[in-house]
Structure 1
Amino acid sequence: MSTLTIRNIDTEIKDKLRLAAAAHGRSMEEEVRTILRTVLSQPAVATGLGSRLNARFAAIGGVDLPPPDRSSPTRSAQFGDTQ
């Protein structure tokens, strides 16, 4: 087993850790091990932002938009005065 020392932890975080450890009947050290084990054993997110947004809002449905007309030649953007 390895040893890990963490310095400069905010007092508020340390207090929350102490309270969580007490609530679970564990030492602070065991609570940290449990948190790290739980978080790091979850699979990494392998999907992109668009896929995650789609999955989140798929239940409320979507809108079918007609495809844009592609028969016209492309035009360059016009910036500034067009007069």
Structure 2
Amino acid sequence: MSTVTVRNLDESVKQALRERAAGHGVSMEQEIRDALARDVRNGPGRRPKASLEEIMRLSRKPDRPFDFEQAQDEVWDYLYKSDKPR
């Protein structure tokens, strides 16, 4: 195994990785390894496939009521961001 050091990483990116790692129940280091591996496997311009866990999470009843307009806006924001070239 090799080691890579990333310098000048934007603080907001680091915080987002930390939060995403916590949501997945893994370390930030593991989350970064997973993200890099997904990106390399998917290649440029390809969308990653959802995991079974992610699909099942969508089918559960929400714990509290939510704003449908906000949810729709978030979906469109996500779709728009994922279509942008890197």
**Equivalents in 2 of 1:35, 1:15: separation in Å?**
15
**What is the aligned partner in structure 2 of residue 23 from structure 1?**
23
Greater relative contact order: 1 or 2 (C-alpha under 8 angstroms, separation 6 or more)?
Answer: 2
Provide runs of 4+ in structure 1 moved above 3 Å: none
**What is the aligned partner in structure 2 of residue 71 from structure 1?**
none
**What is the aligned partner in structure 1 of residue 5 from structure 2?**
5
Structure ID, larger Rg: 1
User: Which consecutive residues of structure 2, in runs of 5 or more, have no partner in the other structure?
Assistant: 46-86
Please report how far the alpha carbon of residue 43 of structure 1 lies from its aligned counterpart in structure 2 after TM superposition: 4.2
* Matched residues, number: 45
Please report how far the alpha carbon of residue 26 of structure 1 lies from its aligned counterpart in structure 2 after TM superposition: 0.6
**What is the aligned partner in structure 2 of residue 39 from structure 1?**
39
**Equivalents in 1 of 2:12, 2:18: separation in Å?**
10
Which deviations, in whole Å up to 9, do the C-alpha atoms of 1:40-81 show, x marking residues without a partner?
012456xxxxxxxxxxxxxxxxxxxxxxxxxxxxxxxxxxxx
**Equivalents in 2 of 1:19, 1:43: separation in Å?**
25
Q: Percent identity?
A: 44
User: One-letter code of the match for 1:8?
Assistant: N
Q: 1:42 to 1:7 in 2, by over 3 A?
A: same
User: Which consecutive residues of structure 1, in runs of 5 or more, have no partner in the other structure?
Assistant: 46-83
TM-score (norm 1): 0.50
